[in-house]
Amino acid sequence: MIGTIPPGLRLRCFAGDGDFPAMADVANAVFVADKMGWIRTPEHIRRDYARFTDFDPLRDIVMAELDGQLVGYVRTSHWTDENEWLAQTQIGFVHPAFRRRGIGTELLRWVETRQREIARVRGGVSVHHVFVTEGEVGRVAMLRRADYVPARHFMLMERRSLDDMPDVPLPEGFEVRPVLSEHLRPIFDAHMEALQGHWGVAPPKPGDFERWTTLPTFQPHLWQVAWHIESERVAGQVKPFINEEQNTTQNRRRGETEFISVGAPWRRRGLARALIAKALHAQRDAGMNESALGVDADNAHEAARLYESCGFRVVQRNMVLRKLVDR
pLDDT single digits (tens) 107-123: 999 999 999 999 999 99
Domains (range + CATH), the chain: 9-147 (3.40.630.30), 157-317 (3.40.630.30)
Predicted model pTM: 0.91
pLDDT single digits (tens) 63-89: 999 999 999 999 999 999 888 999 999
Query: Across the chain, where does the E strand assignment appear?
Result: 9-13, 61-66, 69-80, 86-94, 126-132, 149-159, 174-176, 224-228, 233-238, 241-242, 254-256, 261-262, 290-296, 313-324
- Cα separation, 22 vs 42, in Å, equals 8
pLDDT at 3: 53
pLDDT at 4: 66
Distance of CA 201 to the CA centre of its chain: 13
- Cα separation, 203 vs 290, in Å, equals 32
pLDDT single digits (tens) 306-319: 999 999 999 999 99
Per-residue pLDDT at 207 exceeds 50: yes
pLDDT single digits (tens) 161-173: 999 988 999 999 9
pLDDT single digits (tens) 215-246: 999 999 999 999 999 999 999 999 999 999 99
